[in-house]
């Protein structure tokens, strides 16, 4: 079941990324989370122009000839692929090795075949499994992406020209996406280690004491890491479908509140 869910997500995200359709919803700042942070907008904001790559999309907005999603998806993909929770899931689902702690991999398992004849499972100490140790670096990049997602989220509560507020269902769809991704990322084992790792005594100084409190709180989140992993993964698909349907006019984004600054404060 877990293997099917992972395959479904990988196929779905790859197809959507190759489509080069960011699903921008007219009259809003919404964009599919699979394309966020949206590089054409980001580069434009910093005045960076890429002649030859830039093009105007059918809806009139700025895009690239090559899907910008392809340039960003390696970060969330690498983050999830090296995640301790997902490793457990796909080692068991695809490699059937190791099936549990202290249980040797089956001699005929695909993982052993990958490692080579006469090899055995050495944890993450030899190539290619040693690459899993890149996880902490993927965490740093994922944290940066979440920061950019938060900026994208804030824009979703404004009118297109920032002349007032606009709060629709899509604003909350993106809000839920950012909250779930944050819960997943900040319940990560690497973040837990960063907060409380390599400290022998939490009461030795005020800084270590603060780190101890943060580590304790994060440990509560950490127990739900797998759950956050699955929910956040599927919410990305739900949010992408919502943005795609809304961008094509198949569904209309219900607006709870919309007003200009003049109307609000005038
Ligand atoms: S352990 Fe899962 S994201 Fe870090």
Residue-by-residue DSSP string for 140-178: HHHHHHHHHHHHHHHHTTB-TTSSEEEEEHHHHHHHHHH
155 CB burial (10 A radius; 0-12, 13-18, 19+): middle
Q: What is the number of domains present in the chain?
A: 1
Contact criterion met (CB below 8 Å) for 79 and 138:
yes
Query: Could you list the residue range(s) of the whole structural domain that residue 116 is in?
Result: 2-187+224-265
Rounded to the nearest angstrom, the distance between the alpha carbon of 157 and the centre of ligand 1 is 30
Look up the pTM and report it: 0.89
The pLDDT of residue 152: 93
Q: Is residue 208 part of a domain?
A: no
What does the pLDDT profile of the chain (266 residues) look like in tens digits? 788 888 999 999 999 999 999 999 999 999 999 999 999 999 998 999 888 888 888 878 889 999 999 999 999 999 999 999 998 888 887 776 666 666 665 556 666 666 655 556 666 777 777 888 899 999 999 999 999 999 999 999 999 999 999 999 999 999 999 999 999 999 999 999 999 888 888 888 888 899 999 999 999 999 999 999 999 999 999 999 999 999 999 999 999 999 999 999 97
Q: Is residue 203 part of a domain?
A: no
Rounded to the nearest angstrom, the distance between the alpha carbon of 216 and the centre of ligand 1 is 17
Q: Is residue 130 part of a domain?
A: yes
Q: Is residue 167 part of a domain?
A: yes
Please choose, from the candidates 124, 100, 99, 96, the residue with its C-alpha nearest in 3D space to the C-alpha of residue 112: 96
Q: Is residue 204 part of a domain?
A: no
6 CB within 6 A, ligand 1: no
Query: How far apart are alpha carbons 227 and 14 in whole angstroms?
Result: 23
Q: Is residue 147 part of a domain?
A: yes
The pLDDT of residue 119: 58
Q: Is residue 98 part of a domain?
A: yes
Q: Any bridge partners for residue 54, and if so which?
A: 64
**DSSP codes joined into one string, 93-112:** III---SSTT-PPPTTSHHH
Q: Any bridge partners for residue 222, and if so which?
A: none
Q: Any bridge partners for residue 258, and if so which?
A: 166
Q: What percent of the chain has pLDDT over 70?
A: 89
Minimum-distance ligand 1 atom for the alpha carbon of 84: 1
Provide the phi-psi class of 57: left if phi over 0, else alpha when psi is between -120 and 50, else beta.
beta
Q: Is residue 195 part of a domain?
A: no
Half-sphere exposure (CA, 13 Å, Cβ side) for 252?
Answer: 3
Query: How far apart are alpha carbons 9 and 17 in whole angstroms?
Result: 12
Rounded to the nearest angstrom, the distance between the alpha carbon of 50 and the centre of ligand 1 is 34
């Amino acid at each position: 079941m877990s293997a099917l869910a992972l395959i479904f997500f990988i196929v779905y995200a790859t197809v959507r990324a190759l489509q080069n359709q960011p699903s921008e919803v007219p009259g809003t700042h919404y964009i599919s989370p699979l394309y966020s942070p949206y590089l054409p907008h980001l580069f434009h904001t910093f005045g960076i122009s890429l002649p030859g790559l830039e093009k105007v999309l059918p809806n009139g907005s700025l895009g690239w000839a090559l899907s910008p999603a392809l340039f960003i998806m390696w970060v969330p993909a690498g983050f999830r692929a090296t995640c301790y929770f997902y490793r457990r899931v796909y080692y068991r689902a695809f490699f059937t090795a190791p099936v549990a702690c202290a249980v040797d991999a089956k001699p005929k398992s695909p993982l052993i075949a990958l490692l080579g004849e006469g090899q055995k499972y050495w944890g993450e100490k030899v190539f290619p499994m040693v690459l899993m140790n890149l996880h902490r670096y993927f965490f740093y990049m994922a944290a940066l992406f979440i920061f950019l997602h938060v900026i994208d989220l804030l824009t979703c509560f404004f009118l297109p020209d920032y002349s007032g507020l606009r709060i629709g269902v899509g604003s909350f769809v993106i809000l839920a996406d950012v909250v779930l991704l944050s819960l997943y990322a900040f319940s990560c084992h690497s973040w837990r280690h960063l907060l409380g790792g390599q400290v022998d005594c939490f009461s030795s100084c005020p800084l270590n004491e603060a780190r101890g409190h943060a580590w304790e709180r994060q440990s509560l989140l950490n127990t739900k890491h797998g759950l956050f992993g699955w929910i956040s993964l599927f919410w990305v698909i739900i949010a992408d479908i919502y943005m795609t349907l809304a961008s094509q006019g198949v569904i209309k984004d219900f607006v709870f509140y919309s007003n200009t600054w003049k109307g609000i404060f005038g």
